[in-house]
Amino acid sequence: MDKGGIGMLLEFLQEMGDTMRLPVTFIIIEFIGTFAFAISGVRLSSTKQFDIFGAWIVGMATAIGGGTIRDLMLGLNPFWMTNGSYFICCALAVLAVGMFGKYIIHHNYTWFIFDTIGLALFNVIGIEKTLALGHSYWVAITMGAVTGAGGGIIRDVLMNDVPLIFRSEIYALACVAGGFAYVVCLQMGLSVEISALLSSFSVILIRILAVKFHWQLPILKGVDEPAHDEGNILRTILFFFFTLHSSLFALHSQTQQIFDENVRTLTLTVDNDPTKPPYLPLGGRQHIDIEWDEMSHDYKRYVYHIDHCDWDWQLTDGIFESDYLEGLNDQLIEDYEKSFNTTQIYTHYRLSIPNRELHLRLSGNYRLRIYEEDADRDEVPPVLEARFCIYEKAAGIIAQLSSNTDIDFNSQHQQMTLSVGFGTLPVVDPQRELKVIVMQNRRWDCRVENLIPNVRRTNGVEFTHNRQLIFPGGNEYHRFEILDVHRTATGVDRIEWFEPYYHATLFAAQPDRTYSYFEDQNGVFVLRSADDYDDATTAEYVVVHFFLKSLRLQGGDVYVSGQWSGQTFNPACKMEYDDVNQEYHAAILLKQGYYSYEYIQQEGLTTRTMGSFFETENEYQVLVYYRGQGARYDRLAAYNIMHNAR
C-alpha cells in the first residue's frame, strides 16, 4: 500500500475515533478484539455443527454482545449501529474458520487463544470508552468487565451451556485485575497506549496461569428445597446415598458398579475376549461390549450416557460433548434377549461401543451410565456405571519388576523401576503435565499416583528406588468353575438344590504359610456353561458359598474380591465370622462360569488371609496421562500391561 493509501486509512480511523470518542489505537484494538471474539464464537458453533449462518450469528453475538450491553448501560447507541464494518469483520471470522478449519476447529487451544485475546482487548476498550465519558475509575473497571465477559455469556447461552463466567474458572476476575492494572499505569503517568498494552498483557497472563495451574474460585453449593411428598423424600434419600456412594467410588474406582438391586453380572468385554482389561486404542477397530442381566422378563427401556473424565475420574470441565463424541448420546438400548430354560428368569442386555450411532474422538477416561428412559436423573441414580479407557501410543513405557526391593529381599514385596519416554508429546514441565498411574491386578483402589521422578531427561523421566512403587506380593488367586449345576468342577466341593436356587459350596481355604504356584487369572471371570451355547441367556444363577478357615483375624473385616465383584469392598461380598466353626463365610449369587478371587481385608491386603510372597505372579498396568499447557482435557498418552517374571 502506498503512502497515500496509508494516510487515507489513518484519516478514516481517526474519524471513527472522533465519532466514538476513542483514539485511533483503540479503534484498531477494537477490530482485533471483534475478530478474535468472533473466531471464538464461530469455533464453538462448529462443535455443535451449526450451519454458516448460525455460526455467523454466534460469532456476531460474541463479538458485539458485551459492547452492546456496555453502551446501553452508558446511555449510548450501540457502537455497531453507527458502523457496519463489524458485521464484515464477523463474516471474515466465519471465512477464516472455513478456510483454515483444519487448524482452527480441530485444535483444542484455538478457542482458548482467541477468547483470551478478545477478553483482554475488549476489557481495555470498555475501560477507555467509559473514562472518555467522564465516569469514575470504578465504573470504568466495571464496564471493562462487562465488555469483556458479556459477549461470552451470550455465546454460551446460545450454545446451551453454562456461561463460563458462572463457573469456578478465573474469567471475569481477570478483567477486573486488568482494569486495576490499567488505572495504576495511568496514575503512574504512563501513556494511554502503554497502559492498554500492559492491561491486556495482565489479563492474558492471568488467564493462561489460571488454566495452567487450575486456579479456581470457591464454588457455592446451595441447598435444595425440601420435598413435601413421601415419594420425593424417598427419591431424595436414595439420590443422596448414590451421591455419597459415587464419591467413595471415585476414590476407590473399579471399572464397574451396579446401583439397581435387580441388576446383576455386569461385564465389559473387549473384542469378545473377557480376559482383556477395558482399554481400547484411539482410532482402532476394537470394540467393547457392556452387558448385564435384569432379573425379570419385563423389558426395560434403558438409555446410555457417556462422559469424558480426567485422570482422577472427575468429569472433564471445559470441553463439549461434541469434542469427545461423534454421534448421538442418550440412545435407547435395543439389543436384549430373555433367558431360556433357567430356574431364575432374567433379561440380558448388550451395548457395544463404538456403534453405528456413536464414536469416540478423544483418548482418556470414559464413564458410561445406564438410566431408565423416563428417570429423573437429578433425583434417581443410574442403573449401573461402567468405566473404560481410550489410549494413544504417543509416549513410551518401560518397566522392570524385582523382588529385591528397598525394604526387603525375596520376602513379601515386588518393586517396579519405571521409565516414561515423552515420544511425540511436547512436554515442558513433566511434574505438572504428566500423571503416571500404576496398578496391580487392575485394582484402582490401590493405584499409585502423584509419582515424582528422580531422573529427568530431555526426552523422558525415570522412577527408580521409589518406595511408592513397592507392592505387596500377595498370593495366587483362588479359583472355581461351575459349568454344570449337576456336576462339580474345579474348586467346588458340592452343588445342591434348595428352593429357589442351586447352592455351590467351595472347598474351604486357609491362610498359606508357604508359596505354591498355580496358574490363575488375577481376579478375572469368564461366563460359561457346559453346553457352551448362548451362555448369556442359558446360564443359571447359583448361590456360591465361600469359606476361609481361620481364627478371627486382626485388621478388620474380610471380603471376597475379584473383577466380578465390581468394587473391592462390595458389601454383598463381606464375610461373616462363625465363632463355632472358626471360619469366615459369605454366600453370593453368581452366574455360571469361571471365577478367580481372593480374600482381602479393609486395607486391601491379603497378608493375614492368604499370605504374601515375592514369587507371586501379578499383573501390572501403567497409564500415562498428559495435559499440555493450556489444554482442557487429560489425554491417555500411553498404556502398558506387564507381568512379573517367575
In the predicted model, is pLDDT for residue 147 greater than 70?
yes
Query: Residue 172: its pLDDT value, please?
Result: 80
HEC profile of 55-107: HHHHHHHHHHHHHHHHHHHCCCCCHHHCCCHHHHHHHHHHHHHHHCHHHHCCC
pLDDT of residue 298 exceeding 70:
yes
Domain range list for the chain: 3-212, 230-391, 396-473+619-643, 478-601
Give the mean pLDDT of 71-81: 83
Q: How far apart are the C-alpha atoms of 462 and 469, rounded to whole Å?
A: 12
pLDDT score, position 6:
56
Q: Provide mean pLDDT across the span 119-132.
A: 84
- Please tell me the least confidently modeled range out of 1-15, 116-130, 414-428: 1-15
Give the pLDDT confidence of 378-418 residue by residue, as tens digits. Answer: 888 999 999 999 999 999 999 999 999 999 999 999 999 99
Give the whole-number percent of the chain exceeding pLDDT 90: 50
Closest CA to 436 of 400, 415, 461: 461
- Cell reading at 293: 442381566
At 27, the pLDDT band (50, 70, 90 cuts) reads low
Q: What is the pLDDT of the chain when averaged over all its residues? A: 84
Q: Is 566 left (phi over 0), alpha (psi -120 to 50) or beta?
A: left
| pLDDT value of residue 100 | 66
| Local structure of 19: helix, strand or coil | helix
DSSP annotation of 224 reads: P
Which cell is 77 given?
447507541
Q: What is the pLDDT of residue 441?
A: 92
DSSP state of 518: -
**Cis link prior to 281 (omega < 30° from 0)?**
no
Q: What is the pLDDT of residues 482-519, one digit of tens each?
A: 999 999 999 999 999 999 999 999 999 999 989 988 88
pLDDT at 226 over 90: no
Average pLDDT estimate for 537-541: 94
Rounded distance, CA 625 to CA 233, Å? 41
d(CA 572, CA 566) in angstroms, rounded, equals 10
pLDDT for position 227: 41
Read off the amino acid at residue 209.
L
Q: Which three cell numbers stand for residue 35?
A: 475478530
The span from the CA of 399 to the CA of 622, in Å, is 9
The more confidently predicted of residues 134 and 289 is 289
Nearest to 480 by CA among 516, 505, 503: 505
Query: What b/e sequence results for 256-294 when a residue is b if at least 16 CB atoms lie within 10 Å of its CB, and e otherwise?
Result: bbbbbeebbbbbbbbeeebebbbbbebeeeeebbbbbbb
Q: Which of 28, 94, 29, 19 is nearest to 61 (CA)?
A: 94
Lowest mean pLDDT among 17-21, 522-526, 550-554: 17-21
pLDDT band at 332 (very low <50, low <70, confident <90, very high): very high
CA separation for the pair 111, 108 (Å, rounded):
7
Least confident range from 83-92, 195-204, 436-445, 522-531: namely: 83-92
Within 10 Å of residue 409's Cβ, how many Cβ atoms?
11
**Higher-scoring residue by pLDDT: 363, 97:** 363
Instruction: Kindly give the interhelix angle for 109-132 and 52-73, rounded to the nearest 10 degrees.
Output: 30
- Mean pLDDT for 290-306 is 96
Q: Which residue is associated with the grid cell 435387580?
A: 262
Q: Kind and range of the H or E element at 352?
A: strand 347-353
Per CATH, the architecture of 230-391 is what? Sandwich (2.60)
**Closest CA relative to residue 523, chosen from 309, 294, 256:** 256
CB-CB neighbours of 333 under 10 Å: 16
Question: Do the bridges between strand 593-601 and strand 525-527 make them parallel or antiparallel, or are there none, so unpaired?
Answer: antiparallel
For the ranges 232-246, 308-322, 524-538, which has the lowest average pLDDT?
Answer: 232-246
User: Do the Cβ atoms of 501 and 464 come closer than 8 Å?
Assistant: no
- Reported as a pLDDT band with limits 50, 70 and 90, residue 531 is confident
Q: Report whether pLDDT(576) > 60.
A: yes
Grid cell listed for 16? 471513527
Q: What is the mean pLDDT of residues 191-212?
A: 83
pLDDT reading at 522 higher than 60: yes
Half-sphere exposure of 73 (CA within 13 A, CB side): 19
Which one of 75-79, 89-93, 519-523, 627-631 scores highest in mean pLDDT? 627-631
Please tell me the distance from the alpha carbon of residue 82 to that of residue 140, in angstroms, as a whole number. 22
Query: Could you tell me how many helices (H) and strands (E) the chain has, helices first?
Result: 13, 29
Separation between Cα atoms, residue 413 and residue 471, nearest integer Å = 6
Distances (CA, A) of 369 to 171, 256, 581: 32, 10, 43
Q: Is 106 exposed, middle or buried (0-12, 13-18, 19+ CB in 10 A)?
A: exposed
Question: With bands split at pLDDT 50, 70 and 90, how would you rate the model's confidence at 467?
Answer: very high
Q: Which of 26-35, 72-81, 99-108 holds the top average pLDDT?
A: 72-81
Of 116, 142, 132, 146, the closest CA to residue 33 belongs to 116
Lowest-pLDDT range, 76-90, 198-212, 228-242? 228-242
- Residue 47: the pLDDT is 60
Which 8-state DSSP code applies to residue 50? -
pLDDT tens track for 348-357: 999 999 999 8
pLDDT > 60? residue 233: no
